[in-house]
Amino acid sequence: MTAITAPSTGTRDGLLRFAMRLDAVLVGITGIPFVAAAGWLSSVTGVPVAVEYALGVFFLAYGVVVYWLAAVDNVRPGAIATITANALFTVGFVGAEVAGIWPLTGWGVALLLGGAAYTAVIGSVQYLGLRRLP
């Protein structure tokens, strides 16, 4: 009698891969205005222009890398890195607002706390997907 094993992809990793791809697309798209309109965003949010540019470039790169990581055969290491990045950004966004390191406007506070909420939720969904892996 031969044992039949489940394929390593497609059976229990669907939620994780979907959440990673969704995160990659949403964050990557978000990077475009951060780069293209950093000056305007800075005036609206109170976040320095250099930080807006840096975040935009990071978001664009993150989108490409995480989308690629979602497609590799062994998704676990990339998923752990992505979940960790989301957790760090959650803490970082909240910490930046609480510490008052920039003279944020109301929109700036909303942007940081909204970003923290997004990264907390998407990271949680990714974590649930990771837990489903064999």
Please give the chain's pLDDT, 134 residues, in tens.
554 443 455 578 999 999 999 999 999 999 999 999 999 999 999 999 999 999 999 999 999 999 999 999 999 999 999 999 999 999 999 999 999 999 999 999 999 999 999 999 999 999 999 999 98
pLDDT score, position 11: 72
Dihedral of CA atoms 69, 53, 29, 33 in degrees, nearest 10, equals 180
Q: What are phi and psi of 37, to 5 degrees?
A: -130, 40
pLDDT score, position 10: 53
Q: What are phi and psi of 14, to 5 degrees?
A: -60, -45
pLDDT score, position 79: 97
Distance in angstroms (rounded) separating the CA atoms of residues 70 and 54:
24
Residue with tokens 């229990």: 12
Residue 55 to residues 34, 88, 119, 127, Cα–Cα distance (Å): 7, 14, 14, 24
- Helices 49-69 and 38-45 sit at what angle, rounded to 10 degrees? 110
Q: Following DSSP, what letter does each residue of 44-108 receive, concatenated? A: HH---HHHHHHHHHHHHHHHHHHHHHTTSS--HHHHHHHHHHHHHHHHHHHHHHHHT-S---HHH
Residue 33 to residues 22, 40, 120, Cα–Cα distance (Å): 18, 10, 22
